[in-house]
Chain A
Amino acid sequence: MASDQTPKFSVSDFIAALNQSLEYSFGTVEIEGEVASFKVNQGKWVFFDIKDATGSVNCFMSLFQLRVPVEDGMKVVVRAVPKVTAWGKFSLTIQSIRPSGEGSLKKSFELLKAKLDKEGLFSPERKRSLPEIPEHIAVISSTSAAGYADFVKILNDRWGGLKVDVAHVQVQGDGAPEQIIRAISYFNSQEIIPEVLVIIRGGGSADDLAAFNDEPLVRAIAASRIPTLVGVGHEVDVSLADMVADVRAATPSNAAQIVVPDRSELIKMLGHLVRRVLVRTEGAVDDNLRETTAKLRQGLAMFDTRVDLLQSQLVTSRQVMGAYNPRAVLSRGYAIVRGKVVSGGVIRIEQQERIITAEVKDVEAI
């Protein structure tokens, strides 16, 4: 028989008391287990069980909280509040869920990759190019991370005069994707937007880098109106954030190498340009000189030809004139006869060296 101290509740009060005790005892918990009976109802609500070899607990969450693909058999860690429903059913109200262990991370990665690929998010046609020499860039990273320090060092070594706005965010853990999304949204909503959005994080375990496979984050990068450059992890690490970015950098240092040119290379190129222009000018002067010399020579040659021709014409004229000279005929023994050539007439016979006056005795036709 129950004593007077035995507590008495209405059903609703008892459930409320149970939930109060659960909240007091546990608050929020993280539980690792395997997903079973996963289903989505009405496109809004997600139900599944989380189990291990000997136990199983019902789980409930809204679909928008599900940031990574989940399916039966996948090992996950859920962050949840234990609760007894109004119908007396015990369940975990899930706040977040993330794949656990290499196999599940890989599985989740492949599922989301296939889904986004089908939507064309990784398509090469979507990729925009980055400006060759940007003047204003935005960086999203943890300013305390080694990857960020590497990025800044390489950036300063390579280039100067750049305006860099940095959003300090968490780059691993549950809160990381949302913080990065807010930073992306912040830069995209500025009146004067940066020319490039650089998202960087140094190396880490697959679990550390899992934030960069978060579906809403990947979609936020894809939707950015600022061209994106993502450098996460080491060279061998590939995240969906990398794949959706306009340009992928292998590491944060590589991101700095991609986003700005190397000033020493540019200075070398400047020297080369000036030399090229000089060579062109010298070449033009040489061409001009050659052309002028050739024209002078051509003119001189034409003058010579003309003189030769005139000389030749002069010689010919002289020869003709010589042939017509009566003195030349006289020199060959001929004589010029002047006067009336009739019998008894007086004539003057002109020879080369003398003139003879004579009387005509007879004229006879030949």
Chain B
Amino acid sequence: MSKQSEQKTVSEKMDELSALVAWFEGDEFELEQALETYGKAEKLAAEIEQDLTSLKNEITVLKEKFDA
């Protein structure tokens, strides 16, 4: 089963967006599907932007000691 959109990482979403853009620029482009695909691309771009602005880094200093 494919991942839900909200479970995907930014990197996966970026890959998906790149694939959509590639479809628009490739030979498989069809005007009939363009409107729906454009809607998907626009939504995905908005999601990525939201992720980028809201996500925080999770920094963990390890408890392991390396001095011995």
Contacts and interface: CB of A to CB of B under 8 A. Distances in A.
Interface of A: 131-133, 135, 143, 152, 155-156, 159-170, 175, 179-180, 182-183, 186, 263, 266-267, 270-271, 273-274, 276-278, 280-281, 284-285, 288
Contact of A267 (B17, B49, B55, B67): B49
A284 B10 contact: no
Nearest to B54: A160
Contacts of B49: 267, 270
Contact of A277 (B14, B38, B58, B67): B38
B59 A273 contact: no
A163 B58 contact: yes
Contact of A179 (B24, B29, B31, B67): B67
Given A167-B64, A280-B29, A273 B58 contact: no
A159 B60 CA distance: 16
Interface residues on B, range: 20 to 34
A278 B38 contact: yes
B2 interface: no
Contacts of A170: 67
Interface of B: 9-11, 14, 17, 20-21, 24-25, 29, 31, 34-35, 38, 41-42, 45, 48-49, 51-62, 64, 66-67
Contact of A160 (B31, B42, B55): B55
Given A183-B66, A274-B42, A285-B31, 4 more contacts: A160-B57, A276-B24, A280-B24, A281-B34
